[in-house]
Amino acid sequence: MSRKRRAHTSFDWIPVLDDNEEGQPLPDICIQHTRVDLDESGRSSSTTSFVPAPASPAKKTRTQYDDFNWNNEPAPLELNTTNYPFLDPAYQHFLDVNEPGPPLRYLRELIRLDGRGESGVAATCGLCQVEEPKLRCEECFSGLMFCAKCLVDLHACNPLHRIEHWNGNFFKHTTLKDVGLRIQLGHRVGERCSNPATATGDNFVVINTNGVHEVGLDYCDCETAQHRTTQLLHARWYPATPVTPNTAATFNILEYFHLLTFESKASVFEFLHALMRRTNNISITDVPDRYEEFLCMIREWRHLKMLKHAGRGHDPAGVSATAEGECAVLCPACPQPGKNLPENWRDAPKELQFLYSLLLGADANFRMVRKKVSSEENDPTLSPGWSYYCEVKKYSEHLATGLEKEERSTCVNHHAMKDANTSRSANLASSGIGTIDCIRHNFKRPNSIGDLQKGEKYINMDYLFLSSMSHTEFVCLTMSYDIACQWYLHLWERMLGFPQCLHIDLEGRTVTFLVPKFHLPAHVEKCQTAFSFNLTQGVGRMDGEAPERGWSDINPLSSQTKQMGSSLLRKIKNAVPERSEQVWSFLEFSKSLPADLVLKWSEMVERWEKDEDEINLFVATVTRVTQHGVRLALAQEDAANIEREGSVAIHDDISPAMLITLGLELESQQVRLKYDSGKLDGSATMLQLVKMQERKNSLRRRINTWTTIAPYNLPLHLPSSLPARVPCPPTLLKYELKLREAQCYEALNELHNHLRLRTHMYKYKNKNIVGQRANTRCQNMIHSVQEKVNASATKYRTARAALMKLSSHSLDDEGWRARLLTLDEEDIRPLKEGEEGESEGARTLSWIWKVVGVGGDSDNEGLQEALRIEWCRSRARAMRFSEEVLFLREEMRRVLAFLDWHAGWWDERRFRLTGLSRDEEEGVIAYASKQAHIRRSMRSTFDRIWCSSHELIQLGIGADNDILDLDYAAGADLLNTPPEELLA
């Protein structure tokens, strides 16, 4: 969006011909004047002209400022840029404590205002010019002194200003009431009622943003007088009670506090105390304490605002007819049948149905506790189940039935962990709250919040879930919950124990249960694929974590709608290029594999997506070979050998497998030590050098010990490094061969991880790093990752060299040769990078990626499996991103449609009420029109900012979606609608 600037208005410059000291007119010079105009579209045009102007008069000499006067502008300060190179110049000025500097100048001005200023010399009132001026208003702009009568007259329209009285030496606070101001309600300003009725006790208190005011208040008590509280409300003062109130709060302060609770979470108590201090900071006890009253008013105010926003004041049926959940702000991007969905959404082809699916998440928050200080009976809610909370009575009635059966967990025992969270529930009425949110947009859903009594029990969460769904139409639902794998098992059975109105008819509907990404690693392996957002069709790019994020910022919900424009734009800007990359890399990957294999896997994975009981290609069946695994296998072999007694006993305590394993470990320690000591240069400290020497000594000792038990007497020679003529027991040779092979695989595996990390670091750097310092730090990290890449490569090469040597001892187990190739420098490249000189389309995978966890006898099985899993994951990633782009397009459409619908809804509410007074009717129409206007202007704002990414949205259709294999004919309007029409 281009920033629009107002065009500078041109001006006529009249040269003032000032005579200089010699009495001669100053010589003219030419001043360049450029005029810049901006038109509506933000394009600028400029015209340059030269204006003749007199030269500046000669600079006055510094001596004139010698007589320092703090009213004058001081000479600019020499900024000390060497001491504070990063400091804000404004603040730097303030660090200068020398005489003309701002701190002292500002301070003097603050103190000056404690006196009467220029009014101090005036003997008469600034207005009537007669009386002695003794009063000043702290808030009126003038700062002048007035007599009591004039000040009172001046404040007829500002009766809540704070004033002060000059007692001859200093100012003291006083009130307008004390100097004689009476506030007359029920009449026009300045008009006196013929039959005024002073507020009971004449001690009325008004709470306003600038303090707590005691005011002289008179109601109108004429024949035509309105109810007293109505008279207060007319003046935008909210009465604390409907009957003879003696406290009111201005609408201003209620609105202010309402906003503050969202932004700063200030408590009523703290807030009111700050106001009381503001009124009288010396003696707070002199200020009337209206805490209870304010608490009550705030509560009522929120309630009224909610009703107003929900249009309840525009409904002829009135407030009592409010339906359950009606006052909740709905998510404009979620599917809302009848509001933002096409009429035939239920008939959409099956594979497109996901676009209309609801994505919800359940969560519990144990920080929001409520102490046992009151109860629903003593302190009932004003809006039972009208917005986000479930209707409390029904909820607690159901909880009282206490139907909670212990269920055996088929996964980790999640409940044990959850209960650990909630041990401190002794004197709490509720130990937390549970909620159901839409996870794509983070909106709380109507009737979906409830108290938790003792931890996160199924009975609570079931109720919240069913209650949240009870007013919702859907065909597909994806439900995310951190223990979904357990919760869903008997959910529908448990549902039967709930009141009929909460039952969900599952006929023709699909409900998918998933576990949020962040929680998934805590689950058993089976859950990792069955409940994964990554591997599930039709969920786009979701992590399922919305509820947890939502707790940190519960902002006003209406502003959440306003943010939707920019957040959806940001999402689609990220998703479209990411989608293209994922699709490309999947296609490339597929190309590098044998076509028949890809075809076979495609069929298998599609079958699995349709039916979970089919073979799951994401799960590894071949166990990976690791050094640890081989060691274990060898130990078992040793044990078997000992039993057979045919083994070569090398040492009483040490088996051959142990010997080789120890040897390999010592060898790698040696390598590490060599590398580390190479890093120590001339700058190394004494301590570092000593430490290094200690490590060397210790390793030498261990190697010596190893040598004494080895059957040949040479310093750390593993069988592979023995010359061919030195005899070595074949068992040892065989063992080392196996361990070396495992070492190769491990090294390759490390290499994969480090290369992935390196790619990630580069990407991260390009995307996020600004500034030199951050850049250097990132570069250092990349450097250290590169060192790890090198180390893994060396490890592989060493291990492979040993393998070569071992085979020269004519060992026949040569299967490794086909799999473990020579590692050349150019082989070390990330998954997605081709060899140099290769064209994009012909990129091939480096062989290192095709060898993962090979094991057992069947050579190909392990390789195939690694590739298959990688391929399936790549496919899933590409599909999720493609879905995400379609999701975002649909959501953008839905938001616009929803705002349209809502604007129309408000339009329609303008003329529903009858029998109103003229004033009331105007208000009703004005408010509804304003609400409709807000929706429409929001819509056009979104439309405008989304226009900037029409191109991206255009990219959201077409070829890249082929991966989803959608039925284009059926979904033509959805998939191929050009953005202009989509957003029209």
Give me the least distance between CB of 932 and Zn ion, in Å please.
22
Q: Is 339 in the site for Zn ion (CB under 5 A)?
A: no
Structure-token match 């007692």, residue found: 167
Q: Is 738 in the site for Zn ion (CB under 5 A)?
A: no
Q: Is 485 in the site for Zn ion (CB under 5 A)?
A: yes
Site track 213-252 with Zn ion (rule: CB under 5 A), x = hit: -------x-x------------------------------
> Interface with Zn ion by CB under 5 A: which range of 97-105, 117-125, 578-586, 727-735?
117-125
Instruction: Please say which residue, 187 or 950, places its beta carbon nearer to Zn ion.
Output: 187
Give me the least distance between CB of 46 and Zn ion, in Å please.
46
> Interface with Zn ion by CB under 5 A: which range of 63-71, 161-169, 299-307, 723-731?
161-169
CB neighbour class for 556 (10 Å; exposed up to 12, middle 13-18, buried from 19): middle
Q: Is 439 in the site for Zn ion (CB under 5 A)?
A: no
Give me the least distance between CB of 620 and Zn ion, in Å please.
18
Give me the least distance between CB of 73 and Zn ion, in Å please.
30
Positions 509 through 538 that interact with Zn ion (CB under 5 A): 523, 527
Q: Is 821 in the site for Zn ion (CB under 5 A)?
A: no
Positions 774 through 813 that interact with Zn ion (CB under 5 A): none
Q: Is 617 in the site for Zn ion (CB under 5 A)?
A: no
Residue 717's CB is within 10 A of a number of other CB atoms, namely 18
Q: Is 125 in the site for Zn ion (CB under 5 A)?
A: yes
Size of interface with Zn ion, in residues (CB under 5 A): 23
Instruction: Please say which residue, 360 or 428, places its beta carbon nearer to Zn ion.
Output: 360
Which listed residue (329, 331, 362, 650) binds Zn ion by CB under 5 A?
A: 331
Q: Which helix (H) or strand (E) holds 578?
A: helix 557-591
Q: Is 136 in the site for Zn ion (CB under 5 A)?
A: no
Give me the least distance between CB of 688 and Zn ion, in Å please.
48
SS3 state of residue 514: strand
- Compute, in degrees rounded to 10, the torsion defined by CA atoms 156, 162, 167, 172: 160
**E strands in 366-514:** 370-371, 428-430, 432-438, 443-452, 476-480, 510-514
User: What is the distance of C-alpha 554 from the center of its chain?
Assistant: 11
Q: Is 598 in the site for Zn ion (CB under 5 A)?
A: no
Which listed residue (249, 297, 438, 854) binds Zn ion by CB under 5 A?
A: 438
Q: Report the alpha-carbon distance of residue 973 to residue 958 in Å, rounded.
A: 12
Which listed residue (136, 213, 441, 457) binds Zn ion by CB under 5 A?
A: 441
| 8 A C-beta contact, residue 740 and residue 720 | yes
> Interface with Zn ion by CB under 5 A: which range of 153-161, 377-385, 773-781, 873-881?
153-161
How far the first Cα of the chain sits from its last, in Å, is 19
* Of the candidates 787, 731, 730, the residue with the CA atom closest to the CA atom of residue 758: 787
What one-character-per-residue DSSP string does 804-859 give?
HHHHHT--S--THHHHS----GGG---TT---TT--GGG----GGGG--S--SS-H
* Of the candidates 572, 562, 429, the residue with the CA atom closest to the CA atom of residue 935: 562
Q: Is 411 in the site for Zn ion (CB under 5 A)?
A: yes
Instruction: Give per-residue burial for 424-451: e unless 16+ CB within 10 Å, then b.
Output: ebeebebbbbbbbbbbbbbbbbbbbbbb
Q: Is 355 in the site for Zn ion (CB under 5 A)?
A: no
Instruction: Please say which residue, 181 or 879, places its beta carbon nearer to Zn ion.
Output: 181
Instruction: Please say which residue, 71 or 224, places its beta carbon nearer to Zn ion.
Output: 224
| 8 A C-beta contact, residue 680 and residue 687 | no
Q: Is 147 in the site for Zn ion (CB under 5 A)?
A: yes
Instruction: Please say which residue, 464 or 793, places its beta carbon nearer to Zn ion.
Output: 464
Q: Which helix (H) or strand (E) holds 880?
A: helix 859-908
CA distances from 94 to 82, 89, 97, 782, 895 (A): 16, 9, 7, 42, 49
SS3 state of residue 182: strand
Instruction: Please say which residue, 527 or 785, places its beta carbon nearer to Zn ion.
Output: 527
Give me the least distance between CB of 279 and Zn ion, in Å please.
16
Contacts of 352 (CB under 8 A, 6+ apart): 966, 967, 970, 971, 974, 975
SS3 state of residue 42: coil
- And the tokens for 159? 């009766």
Q: Report the alpha-carbon distance of residue 514 to residue 467 in Å, rounded.
A: 20
Instruction: Please say which residue, 530 or 928, places its beta carbon nearer to Zn ion.
Output: 530
Q: Is 161 in the site for Zn ion (CB under 5 A)?
A: yes
Give me the least distance between CB of 365 and Zn ion, in Å please.
19
> Interface with Zn ion by CB under 5 A: which range of 11-19, 113-121, 133-141, 691-699?
133-141
Give me the least distance between CB of 438 and Zn ion, in Å please.
3
Q: Is 328 in the site for Zn ion (CB under 5 A)?
A: no
| 8 A C-beta contact, residue 132 and residue 120 | no
Give me the least distance between CB of 586 and Zn ion, in Å please.
28
Residue type, 849: W
Strand bridging mode 28-38 / 44-54: antiparallel
Give me the least distance between CB of 902 and Zn ion, in Å please.
15
> Interface with Zn ion by CB under 5 A: which range of 74-82, 89-97, 148-156, 559-567?
148-156
Instruction: Please say which residue, 523 or 734, places its beta carbon nearer to Zn ion.
Output: 523
Give me the least distance between CB of 613 and Zn ion, in Å please.
18
Contacts of 640 (CB under 8 A, 6+ apart): none
Give me the least distance between CB of 221 and Zn ion, in Å please.
6
Q: Is 650 in the site for Zn ion (CB under 5 A)?
A: no
Q: Is 137 in the site for Zn ion (CB under 5 A)?
A: yes
* List of residues contacting Zn ion (CB under 5 A): 125, 127-128, 131, 137, 139-140, 147, 150, 161, 193, 220, 222, 331, 333-334, 411, 438, 441, 443, 485, 523, 527
